Structure 1
Amino acid sequence: METRQLIGARIRELRKNRHFTQEQLAEKMGINPKYLSGIERGKENPTLDTFIKVAETLEVSIGELFYQLEVENPKKRLQAILTLIEQAPTEQQRLAVKVLSALF
């Protein structure tokens, strides 16, 4: 999933948690519902001002729009795992092997 799609999905999640339809949120923000739909689907490239409007209307911080937003990158994920294991004490490395063996 691309970054824009991840951001759009997060906005959709926050909107639904607050029981807004797209039309209701768009009206409160003063934007076209089709534009909001495009944002949520990752098809639009909103400006910072639009993100600020979304956050203010949903009554969240702008950071909340990007909370736990992580673009999936298999190489970075593997490197993070390897770094953790390399830095761990020997006993924790042994435990990590057992846990990973059980998972796979």
Structure 2
Amino acid sequence: MKTTKELLGARIKELRKARKLSQEELAELIGVEPQHMSRLEVGKSYPSLDRLEKIATVLEVPLKDFFDFSHLDDAGERRAGIDQLVKDLSEDQQRFVYRMLKMLKETTRGE
């Protein structure tokens, strides 16, 4: 599972590419070294709020868009996470979760 720092970096990269800017171009526009921009995008460091605001201004996106990770949801990662959670439960808890999921599936068939 990705860390928040990695998700934020991936989101910055995604928004940068949508604006057809290279890392070097964005780095120059916000006044940082290209190496620093790279570290931000791979999730090795957090941008300061001031820097994040500069990036938002250059990319012409609201600040909140940097924290919208819903489209990055990986089904495989989610499934592995669910499997691990269930594995850690007792037999009784697993049976309960199974019944709940079965009921959920039955009640959402029409959606």
Q: TM-score, normalised by structure 2?
A: 0.64
* Structure with more contact order per residue of length (Cα contacts < 8 Å, sep ≥ 6): 1
Q: Which residues of 2 match residues 24-103 of structure 1 at below 5 A? A: 24-68=25-69, 74=81, 93=104, 95-96=106-107
Distance 1:94 1:22 in 2: 44
C-alpha offsets along residues 54-84 of structure 1, whole Å, 9 cap, x if unaligned? 1111000000111135898847x98xxx7xx
Q: Give the letter aligned to residue 47 of structure 1.
A: S
Per-residue CA distance 1:33-72 (angstroms, 9 max, x = gap): 1101000000012211111111111000000111135898
Q: How large is the RMSD of aligned CA atoms in angstroms? A: 3.3
Matching residue's letter, 1:16: K
The question of whether the paired residues in 1 share the 8 Å contact of 2:11 and 2:69 is answered with no
Cα distance change of structure 1 residues 4 and 95 upon mapping to structure 2, 3 Å threshold: same
Aligned length: 88
Q: CA deviation at 1:94?
A: 6.2
Partners of 1:9 and 1:61 lie apart in 2 by 16
Distance 2:35 2:44 in 1: 11
Give the residue type in structure 2 aligned to 1:41: V
Displacement of 1:95 after TM fit?
1.5
Partner amino acid, structure 1, of 2:25: Q
Paired AA for residue 49 in structure 1: D
Partners of 2:7 and 2:69 within 8 A in 1: no
Residue 12 of structure 2 aligns with an amino acid whose one-letter code is I
TM-score under structure 1 length normalisation? 0.68
Distance in 2 between residues matched to 1:9 and 1:32, nearest whole Å: 18
1:56 and 1:8 mapped to 2: Cα distance? Answer: 16
- Between the two proteins, what is the percent identity of the paired residues? 37
